[in-house]
Structure 1
Amino acid sequence: MPLNSLLRLLLLAALWGGSFLFLRISAPVLGIVTTAFGRVMLGALGLLVWLAIMRVPLRFSGRFWVVAAIGTLTSGLPFLLYSAAAQVLPAAYSSILNAMTPLMGVLIGGTFFGEQVTPKKVLGVFMGLGGVVVLSETGPVALNATTALAVAACLMATVCYALSGFLTKRLISDHGTIDNRAVAFGSQVGGVIVLAPFMLWQSYAAPLAWSQVGAEVWVSMLGLGLLCTSFAYILFFRLISEIGALSTLTVTFLIPLFGVLWGWLLLHERLSLGYALGGGLIMLALLLVLPVFGRLGRSLAPRPD
């Protein structure tokens, strides 16, 4: 992997790991709906500006509403669920649980989309679920009904991400040549559409005292929407074009490391053996499920002349 691509991969992991830090700062102050809506709105605006600068045509081949509907799963619901979890769980917890997305993909793909499920993948899924149990039982946050619901919210978000991947391929990628960057923008618009009614209701029923919102919350929201969403998508698609989708998946292994690091450095979250045990099991599970390291190893191995 070229050095520039490696640096971009690390930056992408740092940004997506940092999203859980920003959520932990913003969600307890702004609330679940406002945080999620603000993220998709800023993400959509940032991507719109970028697409205009790059002169990427917003052509959806008559499938805009399909893209927007899938955006409910790629942006709206996951951002809402992670915002809810951020009111209870440390940033490190959510970032580690986010790594369950490929494992959920195995379950969903095998159950609903006819994907081949090998014994190795099944073992990986159970190992990953075991990692969730270990993290919940041994982490620095006491396990009770509230934290259990927050963990469940994170896992439901990974289900949304995994399901959206299959639906995007079946309903969008296989039905035309819509630019992936336009799909990214459309997904954020879909998130805005689905969350807007809830945002309007909350603004009416429980208006927020905006004058009491501190500067760190505003900075966190800007970071969440513009850096961790808009700019992260730019890096993501740049990496796919440079090193391929499979190699870009290695970011999944790096996000929890940055999630734990940022939580420890900036929020003074207490490190725990549970992070190493639970997170380690989930990382081993990913090694079983994702073929990326095996293929990378074969591509880098010496070849006979």
Structure 2
Amino acid sequence: MLIIWLTILLCLIWGFNWVVMKTALDYFPPVLFSAIRFCLGAAVLLAVCYYKRIPLPKKGDWKWYALCGLLQTAYVFTINQQALQYIDAGITSLLSFTMPFWFAFLAHFFLGERLTAIKITALFLGIIGLFFVLEINPLQFEWSGFAFITQLLVLSGSVAWAISNIIVKKILQHHNKIQFTTYQMAIGAAGLLGYSLLFERGESIQWGTPAVLSLLFAGVVASAFAFVLWFYLLEKGEGGKASLSLLLVPMIGVLCGWLLLGESIHLISIVGMVLILIGIGLVNINETQRLRSPFKLKKKAM
């Protein structure tokens, strides 16, 4: 039950963070905002490591921490922030949140998490639900030109995110989650900062209370705290089920946009939310039944 509540908390934080990131674009160059956000998050976690006397990573761990930091922090957020300038935010979100599909596919081969009919059905319902929630017509996709290349890059970011989660689940399963999150985030932030210094020169920051509050929430809550929480959930439960639950994030983002930014929400979005909830419920109910079945067999044997 605790895992369920922590998953809901994570999705609420990352869903609300969509509103924060959207607001921040009025004050920061896109990639620079992500760079400062993750620098702040890493700084907070470094302070936690110092306070809790968490040691530096072992020599053999650095390569995995660096790989995850470059894949899921530097690459994903550089691609997605840039993509928002060329394709719709809804399409960017949809392609990014195909991550559970790629994770489930890879987990079948590398983690032994079988891609069952129930899981495939749940993923299908979730992705279709995303189309509805974000009100995306498949005809909106560009099938040639620069926009098509941008869409492929966002999709590659989703795959990179899934690969990073596979590494965490398979290789870094029992590593200290605060230590891992701290150093992968610091490495990813360095990559984002390097990109911004190279390609966003001349763009200024409009400092003010909204800019500071956006950084504090995105950096401390949605980065430092939320990523530690995500890796904890990934360690404690089945990875496919945990990643599928992240489909709640864009759904909550749409709801927050409606409540806080006055964005419109239509019946088709509500239908999509129902489909996402059904998909997540299918996997969770199936897992509960699977865990209970051995007890039933023992009872019959008696």
**Within the alignment, does 1:208 sit opposite 2:203 as a pair?**
yes
Deviation at 1:94, TM superposition (A): 6.3
Residue 180 of structure 2: which of 172, 179, 183 is its match? 183
Q: Please, which of 246, 253, 267 is the counterpart of residue 273 of structure 1?
A: 267
C-alpha spacing 1:7/1:217, structure 2 compared with 1 (3 Å): same
Partners of 1:120 and 1:7 lie apart in 2 by 23
Q: Which residue of 2 aligns with 1:165?
A: 165
Counterpart for residue 102 of structure 1: 100
* Residue in structure 1 matching 2:79, options 78, 81, 85: 81
Shift of 1:131: 4.0
Size of the aligned set, in residue pairs, is 291
105 and 234 in structure 1: CA distance in 2 versus 1, 3 angstrom threshold? closer
Residue 147 to residue 265, structure 1, CA distance change in 2 (3 Å)? farther
| Deviates most, 279-288 or 72-81 | 279-288
The structural deviation recorded for 1:227 is: 0.9
Q: Does 1:296 align with 2:288?
A: yes
Query: Displacement, 1:182?
Result: 1.2
Task: Calculate the TM-score normalised by the size of structure 2.
Answer: 0.75
Structure 1 residues 161 and 292: alpha-carbon distance in aligned structure 2, compared to 1, 3 A threshold: farther
* 1:29 to 1:259, Cα distance in 2 relative to 1, 3 A: same
Letter in 1 for 2:21: L
Q: How does 1:42-191 map to 2 (within 5 A)?
A: 42-86=40-84, 89=88, 99-110=97-108, 116-134=114-132, 138-139=135-136, 143=140, 145=142, 155-173=155-173, 178-191=175-188
Q: Which amino acid aligns with 2:80?
A: Y
Look up the match of 2:254. 260
1:106 CA drift (Å): 2.2
* Aligned equivalents of 1:84, 1:274: Cα separation in 2: 28
Q: Percent identity?
A: 23
**Is the contact made by 1:40 and 1:76 (CA closer than 8 Å) also made in structure 2?**
no
Distance 1:127 1:263 in 2: 23
- Listed as ranges, the gaps of 5+ residues in structure 2 are none
Contact 1:14 1:255 in 2 (8 A): yes
Question: 2 CA distance for matches of 1:61 and 1:226?
Answer: 28
- Note the alpha carbon deviations across 1:31-54, whole angstroms, 9 max, x for none: 332122122212211211222223
Per the TM alignment, residue 128 of structure 1 is displaced from its structure 2 partner at its CA by 4.3
Do the aligned partners of residues 239 and 124 (structure 1) sit closer, same or farther apart at CA in structure 2, a change above 3 Å counting?
closer
What RMSD over aligned residues (CA atoms) do the two structures have, in Å? 4.0
**How far is 1:6 from its partner?**
5.9
Distance between the aligned counterparts of 1:114 and 1:237, measured in 2?
Answer: 19
| Contact 1:139/1:275, CA 8 A, preserved across alignment | no
Residues 1:231 and 2:228 are matched in the alignment: no
Report SS of the residue matched to 2:246: helix
For 1:252 and 1:71, locate their aligned partners in 2 and report how far apart those are by CA, in whole Å: 19
**How far did residue 170 of structure 1 move?**
4.2
Cα pair distance change 1:14/1:95, threshold 3 Å: farther
Cα distance in structure 2, aligned partners of 1:59 and 1:257? 36
Q: Which SS does the other structure have where 2:186 is aligned?
A: helix
The residue matched to 2:165 in structure 1 has which SS?
Answer: helix
